[in-house]
Amino acid sequence: MHELRKDPLLQRWVVVLSDDSKPPSFYCADRRRGIPPRAPCPLCEIGDDAVEIFRIPNSDPARPPRVRVIANNHPILQVEGSLGRRGIGMYDAMNGIGASEIVIESPTHDVEPDERRTDNLSLVLETYRMRIEDLQKDMRLRYVLVFKNHGRAAGAVYDHPHSQIVATPITPRAVKDELYGARTHFGLKERCVFCDILREERRAGSRVIAENRDFIAFVPYAPRFPFEIWILPNEHQYSFVSLKSEQTPNLASIISLCTGKLGAVLEDPPYNMVLHTSPNKVPRPGHWQTLDDDYHWHIELLPNLLTHAGFEWGSGFHVLATTPEDAARYLREAR
């Protein structure tokens, strides 16, 4: 089983792939030749050994299911086992318990026409919602992270449209930081900081990319990456699980619109998509409990355009080579 370890200085957990520790040649080979595409695509033809967790069938049962979720066969966190929290000298460790799932977003390998893609994305979003709800029942798990890597340079291992779900036994640090910030703001203002940001962005206008009845997409005032986009529900919702069925098509269409604009402006850039929702709400003593009032789920689109170098790693600063206002203007004007 893999291992989770905690840094004693920063209280930051890392995942150590202790069951599959790689020799140096692993990294050198990757650097030399890049990761070759696999033929046949393992997500087009799923092997008999694949564990299917969930599916949305096709109305014609002779055709493959529209969306499928399978267990990752190289899981970084595994479902079976106990947490096994332990001390090792002055350090802390636990077992790599959690879940690693792959969402196969479409039965077809190649990108589909816009209309069908948006249609299918609604089903993918419903799938996320149902998987989060299901995984939140597991008392060992604290958080369910949904994310997508698009393009090899952004970490995608397959070219087939897919995203991933990783459930963790610890609320991830990036989420804790948001929860802490949101709670601090709520303590000062008695208002949700995301609702405040949403109103401020609408007032300023210069960073807004698109809006519909239920959602707004904008470049944040102080993002990490050039051309970063956040998508927020207009209505205050702390958890993605509260997404209403009638809102799903509007979310799908604003995501499609934004990824289409990124593709048009930046020539199909590598990017990551992250869904940030509130942590699992099963009561657990001593850990983050979200108030329904002080968190607001959202989607972050993170284009991978610049190298994170010594200054960024050493300081935690991010450098934006394009201003958020310029980025928003390019994206707004793109078709």
Place of tokens 């096709």: 58
**CB closer to a second copy out of 3 and 126:** 3
Could you say which of 95, 106, 272, 290 contacts a second copy (CB under 8 A)?
272
Report yes or no: 130 and 54 within 8 Å, Cβ to Cβ. Answer: yes
177 binds a second copy (CB under 8 A): yes
Check: CB of residue 222 under 8 Å from CB of residue 242: no
Is beta strand 99-104 parallel, antiparallel or unpaired with respect to 162-168? Answer: antiparallel
Least spacing, CB of residue 318 vs a second copy, in Å: 5
Alpha carbon 120 to its chain centroid, in Å, reads 18
Our finding on whether 33 is near a second copy (CB under 8 A) is no
Q: Is 229 in the site for a second copy (CB under 8 A)?
A: no
Footprint on residues 50-69 left by a second copy (CB under 8 A): none
| Shortest distance, position 65 Cβ to a second copy, whole Å | 24
Interface residue with a second copy among 67, 99, 182, 219 (CB under 8 A) is 182
For a second copy, give the closer residue by CB, 133 or 333. Answer: 333
Taking alpha carbons only, the member of 16, 106, 118 closest to residue 69 is 106
Q: Which residues of 178-205 are buried (b: 16+ CB within 10 A; e: fewer)?
A: bbeebbebbeeeeebbbbebbeebeeee
Beta strand pairing call for 86-88 and 91-95: antiparallel
Per CB under 8 A, 308 contacts a second copy: yes
- Is 7 one of the binding residues for a second copy (CB under 8 A)? yes
Please identify which residue in 22, 137, 213, 335 interacts with a second copy, judged by CB under 8 A.
22
Distance of CA 207 to the CA centre of its chain: 22
HEC per residue, 103-126? EECCCCCCCCCHHHHHHHHHHHHH
Question: If binding is defined by CB under 8 A, does position 142 make contact with a second copy?
Answer: no
Does 104 participate in binding a second copy (rule CB under 8 A)?
A: no
Among 1-9, 39-47, 129-137, 240-248, the segment contacting a second copy (CB under 8 A): 1-9
Q: Work out whether 313 is an interface residue with a second copy (CB under 8 A).
A: yes
Measure the CA–CA gap between 274 and 178, rounded to whole angstroms: 13
- Using CB under 8 A as the binding rule, whether residue 72 contacts a second copy is answered as no
Based on the shown chain and the rule CB under 8 A, indicate whether residue 75 belongs to the binding site for a second copy: no
Give the separation between CA 322 and CA 335, rounded to whole angstroms.
Answer: 20
Please state the closest distance from residue 176 (CB atom) to a second copy, in A. Answer: 8
Residue 203 is a binding residue for a second copy (CB under 8 A): yes
Cβ-contact 150, 173 below 8 angstroms: no
Judged by CB under 8 A, the residue of 42, 75, 263, 269 near a second copy is 269
Does 207 engage in binding with a second copy (CB under 8 A)? no
